[in-house]
Structure 1
Amino acid sequence: MKRSERLHALTELLRRQGARGCTAQRLAAEFGVSVRTVKRDLDALERAGAPIWSRPGPGGGYGLAGGASLPPVNLTPAQAVSLLAAVSAARDAPYADLATAAVQKVLDVLDPRTRALAERLADRVWVDAPPPPARSVRSPIEQAMTDQRVVRIQYLSGDGAVTTRDVEPVLFGSRNGTWYLIGWCRLREAMRWFRLDRVQHAALTSAPCGDHTVEEVGAPPPTSRPVLGRTRG
């Protein structure tokens, strides 16, 4: 990772940590550099105007002052194309349309030189992805998850039977390239996994979800993780 990219990533990591801050040792381990290098990077960011605070002693570390405004983080051409590639390769993922719109907003605010380089690099990345589910199916399910409301679906099971289910959405999961809606099925009174490509119709209801939790789904596979990258434990 180039130093400029590491400085951007370091700023974003401290931003996410909030008031908790982060030790120099952890930052060094995160970026695979020495503690001395991290401290030089932090000094450089502070000289550039980043509102970095430091707290000595046990429980201390570094962080960003709460409420302070930061300059926008600029992407490199490769970072911009990585976003394009990830979104284009996952058109069947939940909220994929919103992700596409978000990436376009990022591209729109890049400086002209970086955007031109990103566009040239993007021409060298091809994607042949499966078609996404119909918007009439996807939208109610995504909204149900966001608002935590019951969604009524017509579901085609593996044996060809079609049933109508009222589902309390708990999480979306991808397994072996297939996306699932995992939620509490009121018909079966149990947690169930529904393949999104087998949902024939979906309608958002006004009924709120109960208090079912992610933990009820069970232990995730060892290789699974939330999209933010934090491991569960």
Structure 2
Amino acid sequence: MKKIERILAVIVLLLENDVITTSELAEKFDVSKRTVFRDIQTIENAGFPISSSYGRNGGISLIDSFKLRSLSFTEVEKKLILDCLVINEKIIGETIEPSVLKEKVQLLANVSLEDQSLSLGSPTVHRPAIEHHIYAINKQIRQAMNQKLKAVITYIDGQGEQTTRTVEPHELGLFNGSWFLRAYCEKRQAFRFFKVTRIRSFFLTSEKFNLRIDDKIDLTPSKEFQIKLEFKKVMLGKLYDYYLYDELQIFEDKIRVHFSSSSIEETATYLLRFHGNVVVLEPDELKQEYTRIVQKINNSLNDDI
């Protein structure tokens, strides 16, 4: 080991340990005590305050105040932590631990919330009233995960069927504007994803569980559809809200959009926001699904007249 590598290793050991003896250092690096003393002298000359003590529990150490400074955060780092805590609160709702930590960091960094450089509105696609419901459920889910407690949930699946299940919450995730709980379901004897908006009740039990290792399923579907759309030129401003520049072909009187999507159903529903000012060019599956949705809406309106 080169001298510089050994000296850096000694500094790390001094930061990690309250006291360490020269004999321990000599044995660890397979050098003489004389070499250790020379290394300590080099470290001192570099500005590290070394303290020596004698006796049964004696040895060398870095003074505590220096360790504190070494492990302290810079003002920029404190600001970044505070920004992250504010965003965390916006995403998952206010909870006790992050709120207390936020107050501590504010005091340490000597900044107020008015000084924040990052902000976040709604993190999901849901209305504020629905988000309040999500926050309440997510708070219980996080408690269950932190304490590793099983929970009994009432859940409405995609077919509208209601079931009651005992689950072991493992992970909470935000995907495409919706919250999902990944949990081991005792009913199915396997891991399942549960959309939080469809969890109608969540009750903690007193029964503990151990974390399970599973082949984690990605929520992102593997199949991608190539979507081609056509819009009138006047839609350009709105299109930049949803598409990248490289996904647009701008002509004199029209705009064509080419992008990929993993869901025909979601894409067709999403196209309704353009109020009929869109022509589906490809694929045929999207043309059919979009036509079906529009016809269903028209039939519903005609039935009400």
Q: TM-score normalized by structure 2? A: 0.42
Which consecutive residues of structure 2, in runs of 5 or more, have no partner in the other structure? 1-11, 18-42, 52-60, 124-130, 221-305
How far did 1:136 drift?
4.4
How far did 1:128 drift?
0.9
- State whether residues 95 and 139 of structure 2, in contact with CA within 8 Å, keep that contact through their aligned partners in structure 1: no
Structure 2 residue aligned with 1:171? 171
Distance change (3 Å), C-alpha of 1:182 and 1:171: same
Determine the C-alpha separation between the residues in 1 that align with 2:50 and 2:94. Answer: 33
Residue of structure 2 aligned with 1:129, choices 103, 122, 126:
122
Which protein is bigger by CA-based radius of gyration?
Answer: 2
Structure 1 residue aligned with 2:198? 198
Determine the C-alpha separation between the residues in 2 that align with 1:48 and 1:178. Answer: 51
Structure 2 residue aligned with 1:145? 145
How far did 1:185 drift?
0.5
Distance change (3 Å), C-alpha of 1:18 and 1:192: farther
Q: TM-score normalized by structure 1? A: 0.53
Distance change (3 Å), C-alpha of 1:75 and 1:184: same
Structure 2 residue aligned with 1:98? 97
What amino acid is the match of 1:142?
R
Determine whether 1:79 maps to 2:77. yes
Distance change (3 Å), C-alpha of 1:87 and 1:179: farther
Determine the C-alpha separation between the residues in 1 that align with 2:48 and 2:159. Answer: 62
How far did 1:207 drift?
1.7
- State whether residues 92 and 132 of structure 1, in contact with CA within 8 Å, keep that contact through their aligned partners in structure 2: no
Give SS of 2:84's match. helix
- The 5 A counterparts of 1:1-233 are 47=47, 49=49, 70-71=68-69, 73-76=72-75, 78-90=76-88, 91-93=90-92, 98-110=97-109, 112=110, 115=111, 121-122=115-116, 124-130=117-123, 131=131, 133=133, 136-210=136-210, 212-213=212-213, 215-218=214-217
Aligned-residue Cα RMSD (Å) equals: 4.0
Residues matched between the structures, number: 162
Structure 1 residue aligned with 2:57? none
Distance change (3 Å), C-alpha of 1:174 and 1:141: same
Distance change (3 Å), C-alpha of 1:70 and 1:136: same
How far did 1:173 drift?
3.0
Distance change (3 Å), C-alpha of 1:198 and 1:178: same
How far did 1:163 drift?
2.0
Determine the C-alpha separation between the residues in 1 that align with 2:50 and 2:176. Answer: 42
How far did 1:47 drift?
2.3
Q: Which moved more, 1:67-76 or 1:155-164?
A: 67-76
Give SS of 2:139's match. helix
Q: Relative contact order (alpha carbons < 8 A, sep ≥ 6): 1 or 2 greater?
A: 1
Q: Deviations over 1:143-202 (max 9, x none)?
A: 211121211112232333332211012223333343322111111221101122332221
Determine the C-alpha separation between the residues in 2 that align with 1:109 and 1:187. Answer: 48
Which consecutive residues of structure 1, in runs of 5 or more, have no partner in the other structure? 1-13, 20-42, 52-63, 222-233
Distance change (3 Å), C-alpha of 1:217 and 1:48: same
